[in-house]
Amino acid sequence: MRFISPKTDFAFKKIFGSSESKEVLISFLDALIYQGESRINNLEIIDPYNAGYTTELKDTYLDVKAILNDGSTVIIEMQVLNVPAFDKRVIYNLAKTYSTQLKYGEGYSKLKPVIALTITDFTMFEQTDRYLTRF
């Protein structure tokens, strides 16, 4: 029997980004972010389309986007091809997700952490062999 590769967009989103796979996503995030410790009790999978608030801002599309029970946002991308400026795209998506949390008049103390989980089928950072890099 042949299976579809979990690295394809369709399969990855079905495995980690659908409401039926919420428990799978929680286990996956606990394993990667919290080294297997069960810290995520619940999460809400939300629309991964990140529209620009003005017509001048670039629209972005993520594979999976979720809000954790502590209010943190996790954005997940699976990338097979090493395309030019992919690292800049990751930073842009992270910064955009972080910067669009506040509404007019809200204080900076309301900002919550944003975690960018980027899974690649290539070596993204040649200078380290660690699978988890925190910046």
pLDDT value of residue 126: 83
What's the rounded Cα separation, in Å, for the pair 106 and 99? 12
Mean pLDDT, residues 11-36: 90
Quote the CA–CA distance of 17 and 25 in Å, as a whole number.
8
Q: Record the pTM.
A: 0.83
Q: What is the pLDDT of residues 74-101, one digit of tens each?
A: 999 999 999 999 999 999 999 999 998 9
Query: Which secondary structure element, helix H or strand E, spans residue 26, and what is its range?
Result: helix 22-33
Q: How confident is the model at residue 54 (pLDDT cuts 50, 70, 90)?
A: low
| Strand order, beta sheet including 43-46 | 43-46, 64-68, 73-79, 114-120
Q: Which helix H or strand E contains 119, and what residues bound it?
A: strand 114-120
Distance, in Å, from the CA atom of 16 to the CA atom of 72, rounded to the nearest integer, reads 17
- pLDDT band at residue 35 under the 50/70/90 scheme: confident
